[in-house]
Structure 1
Amino acid sequence: MRTERYETRDRAYGAWHRAPSIRRYLQATQAESLTMADLDSVLFTEYDHGGKLPLALVEVARDIGQEKPAGVLQQLARLADVPAYVALYTPALTANPANPNWSDIERFRVKRMWPRPEPGWRVLTPTQWAQALVQIRGWQLRRFEVQQAANDEQY
């Protein structure tokens, strides 16, 4: 296993994703609906708060110009049948106003890894990435909505 590149883990993304911070870019109800679980300090699972249903996997890292291989992420997403993304962030020179212990985020480089992996990176603003998370969650929740079968009682 490789050694840690930095002595401490940067928690800028975790601070940015929390409702008091991300509501700068979304409606309050949307910000409150975004829930994630940090699986290993860099892989986040977007999930539905009520049912704990995994909706997407996002591998997050500070952007240092790397390409960021994500083969394991792709395989987990394929097996779970949820979309997967890599999101590399560039810290801002200013602190996050909702949590001044960590830098705010200036921009993201994002790539969908599964399904239909994207060949290149998209550069997104924090607003664009926050809105994309809401959109991804909406697609997935609609996909997993309980549908009644033709033999249910009401038919």
Structure 2
Amino acid sequence: MPIKPLILFALLLALPGVGFGGEGGKQFDPEVFAFDWEFHRGDLPCRQVEAAAEVRWRKVQIPHDWSIESSTGGSPFFEESGDAYDTGYARAGVGWYRKAFHVPESLFVESPEPRRTGGRWLLARKWGGGSSRKICIGDHRRGSIH
């Protein structure tokens, strides 16, 4: 293999570990941000999303696909699934994720399309439709920790 393609290949392998520039020269590392998330399966009123004592939250690392987890220890796939064919016979429903982190004045969150409802909740606010989109949350901060 010629040296130039080999160097390019090595650089491409290293890219996922590169941080993104942030406020004041701070670096954002998406791999570090994937840790220390909490998850709750089922729907919650927004006030309970923030209240730690009222709801059972469990630690997860993202990406995390709760629809293929089995709550009974058996297979997560079953023909009686409410959405059956649409979800590959996996469990469908609502799940909540939360994480505490510092929010700089300028921050964008890019979110893929949710499976069915087209809804994303961030900072206790619903953020629109069902396509992949970038959300600016810098103006919606409620202090520096969320």
Fold match by TM threshold 0.5:
no
- Which structure has the highest strand share of the two? 1
Using the size of structure 1 for normalisation, the TM-score is 0.29
